[in-house]
């Protein structure tokens, strides 16, 4: 469900070969999201990149749900997503 302009930007971003790179795309109509975390230089940078992309995702979800971006809901969303992803991503940051 991504439009051609965003798809092209994402493709160029992720095929650039740059490290410490990622992208988050959400489709509010389908309530779906894609988060891509590319290669990183080290575990600290991976952790930074994961936090960065999860922030984008949490803000997208909060905005689409009508939550106050300064409220606790966004923080809980971010924490819940981080908890769900930890088993998959822990080898990148441990």
Three-state helix/strand/coil letters over 11-74: HHHHCCCCCCCEEEEEECCCCEEEEEECCCCCHHHHHHHHHHHHHHHHHHHHHHHCCCCCCHHH
Tens of pLDDT, residue by residue over 44-62, are 999 999 999 999 999 999 9
Please state the rounded mean pLDDT for residues 82-88: 93
Given a cut of 90, is residue 14 above it in pLDDT? no
pLDDT value, residue 79: 94
Model's pTM, two decimal places? 0.85
The mean pLDDT of 28-33, rounded to a whole number, is 90
């Amino acid at each position: 469900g991504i439009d051609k302009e965003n798809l092209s930007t994402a493709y160029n971003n992720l095929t650039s070969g740059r490290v410490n790179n990622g992208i988050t795309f959400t489709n509010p109509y389908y309530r779906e999201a894609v988060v891509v975390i590319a290669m990183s230089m080290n575990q600290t940078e991976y952790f930074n990149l994961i936090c960065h992309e999860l922030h984008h995702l949490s803000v997208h979800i909060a905005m689409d749900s009508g939550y106050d971006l300064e409220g606790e809901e966004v923080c809980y969303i971010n924490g819940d997503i981080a908890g769900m992803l930890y088993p998959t991503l822990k080898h990148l940051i441990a």
